Structure 1
Amino acid sequence: MTTFKSGTTFRDSPTRPDPRSPLSSPKMTLAEIVEAISGGSLDIRVTAYDGSSTGPVDAEFGLDLLTPRGTTYLVTAPGDLGLARAYIAGDLTLRGAHPGDPYEALRTLSDDVEFERPSALTLAHIARSLGLEHFKPIAPPPQEALPRWRRIAEGLRHSRSRDADAIHHHYDVSNTFYEYVLGPSMTYTCACFPDREASLETAQENKYRLVFEKLNLQAGDRLLDIGCGWGGMVRYAARRGVHALGVTLSQEQAEWAQRAIVADGLGEFAEVRHSDYRDVAEGDFDAVSSIGLTEHIGVSNYPGYFASIRDKLRVGGLLLNHCITRPDNRENKRAGSFIDRYVFPDGELTGSGTIITKLQDIGGMEVLHEENLREHYAMTLRDWNRNLVDNWDAAVTEVGESTARLWGLYMAGCRIGFDRNIVQLHQVLATKLDDKGLANVPLRPWWRP
């Protein structure tokens, strides 16, 4: 008999001429295929539409493959992209997990399953068991962006038109939906928790306080906030007498932010424009904040990006760059296939060392401080998932169940990445020097932690 490493056993018939041939073995069930590629016993329960199952019956979490379409997604895009397609389309569910927050199920799944490449004989047997129809690619869920090689019609990578399309893909989902997920602050960047028991709103307010103090802003100063989102930093600064200009490539964000500025009575101090940061004509700002933009501009564009910021600052002005980073500075910058297709098309991440180096190399800027807020982002994502669960029915009504499922999956998966130090979040503070290389800043950090 033929025994696979997973423990799945197929008995050979004495009438078959070659019991080792996949053509002479019974077809494998879907559960047996999962066992064969998972490399051992499972701690989760797996069930499939063909009636087969594997794993402990009393497992807390499980995977339920509901349709043949789901099998096609898994076969034609092995890895996270195929799993995401099947899950978003509703062909695969995570039993025991709310779709608004599948964090615990995903963590258990990632701890438990390590897919191994089976032998050629086993692969042939799997292919025969599945049937050729599952190897023919089918249309992905409508939320998926085109693959990188097909986005050339939108312009070269990180051209203005293609960047605008990428921002539209992610940020123009629905302002109402973002209100459900982000809460009253409407802040879609990492919070800074003063303690582990603090609320999300307290932590987001504390993040703006930290940025404001690091930039040493005073009433009457001028702030440029690049990639300003729904204007949280702009309004925080304006409430303290700072003249703040925010720019975003998302028209829906700009319209929402302008309404909030009017509603808060901040029109004298605050403005948010639907604009590329490269089109800001004003200069001589006392400070520039860039909170969650660097991920979108491309590492090769860092020199031009930082030079543009330098040129908009007055001598002695300060820059605070806040962005997701990698824990190293190796060459692999592009996001994985799931993130690239469903979350941040063309997004790129690199280590804080690369960011600091590129900032230093443009000349005229001195890096003063850097800080890693990795754990804070895991906690932020936890609270966003919680908000999605609390507002699930309304969120589904607003954007549809598949989009809501996508967001639950994406945020929970990212939380695991921050938990496990796969990604980090760094703030880098720098100042513009005068022509003699002097900086007009205090000798020691002047902000509260």
Structure 2
Amino acid sequence: MDTVLLSRLQFAITAGFHFIFVPLTLGLSVLTAYMESRYVATGDKDYLRMAKFWGRLFLINFALGVVTGITLEFQFGMNWAEYSRYVGDIFGSPLAIEATLAFFLESTFIGVWIFGWNRISPKLHALSIWLVAAATNLSALWILIANGWMQHPVGYVLRNSRAEMVDFWAVVTNPYGILKFFHTVMSGWVVAGFFVLGISAYHLLRKNETEFFKKSLKIGATFALISSILVAFVGHFHAHEVTRTQPTKIAAMESLWETTQDAPMYLLLVPDPKNERNSIEAIKIPSMLSILAGQKEIKGLKEFPPSERPPVTLTFVSFRVMVGLGFLFILLSLWALITFKTIENKTALLRILLWSIPLPYIAAQLGWIVAEVGRQPWIVYGLLKTANAVSKSVEPAQVVASLIGFTLFYGALGIIDIYLLAKYARKGPEPKEV
């Protein structure tokens, strides 16, 4: 195995593991803030207990997310030094803003929230968790602006054999980055909604704190339904941007080989990349692909040299499964809301909701596979190829050693996270005050 493949594998494993924690942090911070605000507004102690119960789970997830995120930035300077040298002038700016502004704000007010119970007024305490939620999602904005530039580079010139920023505003307002931000953040809200739904379902199945968890379930279902619809809505416009800026990716997502006017969509399709065709094309919806992509003519993969095409099967399958799960989330959260009044008696639905907790995580990971694998062979689309971005001084044996180390370390962290979340989720909220 060569250094490029090993470095890609290492970054994929560490980034994928880190992103297990990010979506729940994004959404659960907002839900915890909402629950505490409901307590401040109504005086209902159940909402205070909710904020503390779900907030504890948020803190466990947040702590591990911070730890797993640190190693990613080190890899830019170690495994991907050529990439950092070539685009560091642009890529480093949003990451620096994220670290000095968003993460600082987030870290400061999470301390206020943890240690401020009974030390500051309820309103100020609720404000502190809202600031944490805002900073957490703002942190994602700057990271996704950086990634959006990799997907569609703007506001730069090539000078001295490297890309240099000439228009910071163009980088910040890059439509690809903005759409990616909303799509990613809202998918994190779906993760949190189903996390609350699933744990609430677990306790309702055991008739534990029924009223408490019915309230939690309703909040989670409402949040999940709204977020799932928004993800689909933003995803539609994101597809327009992908079609405009990354024609190879949209072609791979739909396994389209020939350039087509009024391109149809096939509900049943099996790619055959080896022969540059599809072995099965069935259940045709005329013009649907062009309608969804917002473009009458869709370029096929044969328009591009084989060396510039992304892996088709992985991109296609990841995209189709992600979209299918997205519609499932809408149906499940809507079903939970429709049957809410008697949901404690809907054993089958509660079990489905419990076992659905991993599904939004899977959908989020599949989304990143589509985004990153579908961009290949470019690390910066159309500008810098992945093969040219790896560090020249790193040997395969060094990457293998660090890959094994990261895998073992992250595996241990994963076990700790699952253990702690399961322990405190099963424990339930603090007892009611007598």
TM-score norm. by structure 2 comes to 0.26
- Flag the structure with higher helix content: 2
Q: Which has the higher contact order (CA 8 A, sep 6+)?
A: 2
TM-score norm. by structure 1 comes to 0.26
- Flag the structure with higher strand content: 1
